[in-house]
Every structure is written in structure tokens, then in C-alpha cells.
């Protein structure tokens, strides 16, 4: 919890979670606020497993914005929901209601104790002002009736109250409703806490650079530039680190030059190179944008990181050919395959090879033909250093020629639809097969399971700590 003090609440939570990995985060926070310890302390051994499953099932539904307990029936054969919360077996909606009524008083006590643990940690870490809901009534105690009557402005509570028609009702008359209110209260605080930490893409554009207008431009044009994402100091620091790595790999003879040109260099495997790259690729604004681009009706993760590398176009570096970032046969599918982000560590100008694109071409569902290489209607992505460019994988684009004497440096992150990985790697053979067996396989079998795939020159080069 000590790192929480360093975090700044620059984003507000969207209302609910939207993936199984986010549900796993919620389960991690149950552990953080001592659900297991409280259950073990408060219940006899024969009850503990049922209480744990009941609490997590209800909280899981609430975190998805589902308030009817019968919704649990959709997940009773869903191993992903169960795995997210470490639940061995889910009860039906009918059983859930019966057991909730039976254990209502226990749930009220458990929820209040967990919320007390949450409140204590929030205050210790000085984040108690981040729109959390603490139900201290006039008596100074956790007063559920006070919570229902005095939190009308909170969207989570408004949704919940509207669903159960709680306005004007003294919830203390029904222990079952009171138990639901207590579980919902704690779940709401956990959702806000997860958003505060920037751990998921469920972020609202309320105070974000990725505004509703930005979303519309991205959808319409297939690309977007957001200025001011990096400070000048961050740009300077990142450039210095990239240049050191480029020089080091050149000296070690492991530099990756592409296109047959020594003035076109890439530094791969940035996640392994420096902690600053691990932080940069998962900034909340990146998660927001990818959640938007890859959104689909599923609780599976929607996207994965395909590549994360630095790109250096040196003096005289030639222009690329016009292309798309979707290596599949035509026609391209109407759904997104890939999306890219580009942190600009130089001003992007016409002179230094700013990326060019054809706005709206992501809707063509086709790749550029030879005649398209000579189009004169491409638009350069001109922007100051510190900007973030984003483009759809179907967009026609290319880098320009660097006519200046200064290296044009960028950090390129490629994301891909996660269902492609699920289809191609239902079993992750490189993780599950014994290394000695893999080593002695035939070359064909090694290729089939991905041995050597994606290992670029320089990616495995052990570098100094810059």
C-alpha cells in the first residue's frame, strides 16, 4: 500500500468492470482488505466456503452492473467468472437468494468490517477524498440507512437505489436488502480504488485527454494525435535512454537495422530494457484508448500487447511504402485486428519524416495497391514532441523521409485483438512444455509451437542499466 501515496487521481472510474482480468483485480482487493481473514475469524469451518462464494458472487455481479441475483445463472457454468474469484462452484440465483436471506446478518457484519478496513487504509494513505463512500451516520457508526438517504449524487448508489426502489424506504426493515446495500457499498469503494490506481481501462473521459470529441475523430479518420501526453523532461529522458541502447546494441553487433539501411534502427523488447518503458506502455490514457478501439461484447480481455519497440529514423532515412498493420488476407475483416500508439520524442515535421496516412482508409477493408504508392493525398501527422499518435491497424500509412541531420525517434506500441491469440494459442506451448523436450523437437514441431517466433535481432541482448 505504500506506493499508493505516489498516485494522482487524474481519472474517474467508469461505472463498472468489463473483463475477467478486471474481476481478478477485484478479487485481489478482497484479499487486500482481508476478506479471508474476516471469514475465518467470524464463521465456523463448515460455513466458510459457502460464505466466501456467496459474497464474491454478489460482489462480482455488482461490479458488472448487474443487480438482480438471478443474473448469476448466466455464470454458473462459466469457469472464467469462477476462476476470477477463486470460486469452486457457483450457486443458482434461487439458491443465492435463499442463502443470502439465511446469512443476511453475517453479510452485514462482514461487509461493514471490510469497509472499515478499507476506510482505515484509505485514510492512512491519504486518499480518503477520492469520492469513496464511508457510511458513518450521525451516531458515528456504520449506518446503512444514513448511507441510502444521503448519497443521492453518487452514480453507483443512484443506479442501485433505482433498481431496488430504495428511495423513501427504511432499509433496516429488511435484513436481506440491508445486506445487499452493505455488499454494494464495499464493492463500489473497491471499483473506485481500482480506477484510482489506474489498473484497468475502465476510465471516464471526464478529466482525460481522450475526450468524446477525440473518440469521434479517431473512429472517423482512423487516427488521432493527442498533444502534451509527455512533458519536455520526459521526452529528454526517454530520448537519452533510447540513444544509449541504440549505441550499445550497435557496439555489441546486435543492432536491428531494417530495410537494408543503417540509418533505420529499432530497439526491441523494451519491456525488458528499462522500467520507464514498462510504466509508459500501461499509462491510463493508453488503456482508455485500447478499451475503446477493441471494445466488444465479451468479458474476455479485449486486447494484448503485440510489440513495444523504439524506432530511429536517422539522417537520410528513406520513406516506407504505404501499408496497413494487419497481416491477414483480403478483404480485411470489418472488426479491428490491430492498433498502434506512437510516443513522439521529436517534433514531427514534413522535413524529418512525419508519418503520413490516408484519413478514413481504415474503412476500405483493403490493402494499398501498387498504384496507391504514388498517391498525393496523404496527410502528415504533424505534431510537437511529447504527443501521442494512435491509429487503427487497417489505416493506410507510412513513415516519411528524414531530410534533416537529427534522428527522428519514436516509441511504437502495437496492440492486437486478444481473440486472435486465443484462437492461435489455445494452449501456450512455450509455457507448458518442458524446456528439455522443446529443445529436442524437430524443427517443424518447434515452428508449430512458436519457437523463435518474434525474436528480433537485439531483443535478447542483455544491456547495462542506463
Per residue in 116-159, pLDDT (tens digit) is 888 777 776 666 555 677 665 555 555 676 677 766 677 888 88
Determine the pLDDT at residue 114. Answer: 87
Q: What's the alpha-carbon Rg for the chain, to the nearest Å?
A: 26
Last residue of a domain, one of 162, 196, 230: 196
On whether the CB atoms of residues 337 and 416 are closer than 8 A, the answer is yes
Residue 454 lies in a domain: no
Last residue of a domain, one of 142, 164, 196: 196
Q: Provide the CATH number for the domain around residue 235.
A: 2.60.120.620
Rounded-to-integer distance, Cα 253 and Cα 244, Å: 14
Residue 339 lies in a domain: yes
Last residue of a domain, one of 196, 225, 258: 196
Strands (E), 261-300: 264-267
pLDDT tier at 438 (50, 70, 90 boundaries)?
Answer: confident
Do 254 and 384 share a structural domain?
A: yes
Do 178 and 149 share a structural domain?
A: yes
Number of domains in the chain: 2
Distances (CA, A) of 202 to 63, 121, 134, 188, 285: 12, 23, 23, 14, 10
The answer to whether residue 12 scores a pLDDT higher than 50 is: no
Determine the pLDDT at residue 457. Answer: 76
Determine the pLDDT at residue 33. Answer: 87
Rounded-to-integer distance, Cα 110 and Cα 106, Å: 6
Q: Nearest Cα to 270, choosing from 235, 309, 312?
A: 309
Amino acid at each position: 500500500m505504500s506506493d499508493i501515496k505516489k498516485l494522482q487521481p487524474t481519472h474517474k472510474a467508469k461505472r463498472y468492470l468489463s473483463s475477467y482480468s478486471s474481476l481478478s483485480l477485484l478479487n485481489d482487493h478482497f484479499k487486500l482488505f482481508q476478506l479471508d481473514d474476516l471469514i475465518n475469524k467470524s464463521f465456523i469451518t463448515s460455513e466458510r466456503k459457502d460464505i466466501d462464494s456467496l459474497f464474491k458472487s454478489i460482489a462480482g455481479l455488482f461490479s458488472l452492473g448487474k443487480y438482480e441475483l438471478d443474473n448469476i445463472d448466466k455464470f454458473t457454468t462459466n469457469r472464467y467468472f469462477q476462476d476470477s474469484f477463486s470460486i469452486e462452484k457457483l450457486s443458482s440465483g434461487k439458491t443465492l437468494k435463499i442463502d443470502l436471506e439465511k446469512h443476511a446478518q453475517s453479510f452485514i457484519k462482514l461487509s461493514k468490517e471490510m469497509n472499515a478496513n478499507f476506510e482505515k487504509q484509505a485514510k492512512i494513505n491519504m486518499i480518503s477524498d477520492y469520492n469513496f463512500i464511508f457510511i458513518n451516520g450521525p451516531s458515528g457508526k456504520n449506518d446503512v440507512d444514513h448511507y441510502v438517504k444521503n448519497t443521492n449524487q453518487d452514480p453507483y448508489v443512484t443506479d442501485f437505489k433505482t433498481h431496488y426502489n430504495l428511495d423513501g424506504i427504511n432499509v433496516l426493515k429488511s435484513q436481506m436488502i440491508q445486506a445487499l446495500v452493505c455488499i454494494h457499498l464495499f464493492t463500489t469503494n473497491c471499483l473506485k480504488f481500482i480506477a484510482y490506481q489506474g489498473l484497468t481501462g475502465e476510465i471516464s473521459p471526464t478529466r482525460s485527454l481522450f475526450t468524446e470529441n477525440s473518440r469521434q475523430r479517431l473512429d472517423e479518420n482512423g487516427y488521432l494525435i493527442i498533444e502534451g501526453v509527455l512533458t519536455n523532461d520526459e521526452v529528454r529522458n526517454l530520448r537519452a535512454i533510447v540513444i544509449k541502447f541504440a549505441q550499445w546494441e550497435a557496439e555489441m553487433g546486435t543492432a536491428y537495422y531494417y530495410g537494408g539501411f543503417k540509418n533505420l534502427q529499432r530497439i526491441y523488447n523494451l519491456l525488458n530494457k528499462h522500467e520507464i518503458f514498462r510504466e509508459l506502455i500501461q499509462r491510463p490514457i493508453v488503456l482508455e484508448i485500447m478499451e475503446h478501439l477493441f471494445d466488444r461484447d465479451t468479458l474476455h480481455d479485449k486486447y494484448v500487447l503485440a510489440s513495444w519497440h523504439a524506432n530511429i529514423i536517422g539522417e537520410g532515412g528513406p520513406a516506407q511504402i504505404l501499408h496497413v498493420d494487419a497481416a491477414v488476407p483480403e478483404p480485411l475483416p470489418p472488426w479491428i485486428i490491430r492498433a498502434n500508439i506512437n510516443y513522439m520524442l521529436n517534433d514531427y515535421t514534413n522535413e524529418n519524416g512525419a508519418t503520413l496516412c490516408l484519413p478514413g482508409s481504415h474503412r476500405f477493408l483493403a490493402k494499398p495497391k501498387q498504384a496507391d504508392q504514388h498517391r498525393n493525398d496523404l496527410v502528415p501527422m504533424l505534431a510537437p514532441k511529447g504527443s501521442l499518435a494512435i491509429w487503427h491497424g487497417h489505416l493506410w500509412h507510412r513513415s516519411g523521409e528524414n531530410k534533416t541531420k537529427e534522428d527522428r525517434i519514436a516509441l511504437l506500441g502495437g496492440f492486437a485483438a486478444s481473440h486472435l491469440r486465443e484462437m492461435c494459442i489455445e494452449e501456450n506451448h512455450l509455457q507448458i512444455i518442458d524446456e528439455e523436450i522443446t529443445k529436442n523437437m524437430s524443427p517443424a514441431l518447434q515452428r508449430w509451437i512458436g519457437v523463435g517466433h518474434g525474436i528480433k535481432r537485439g531483443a535478447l541482448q542483455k544491456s547495462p542499466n542506463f
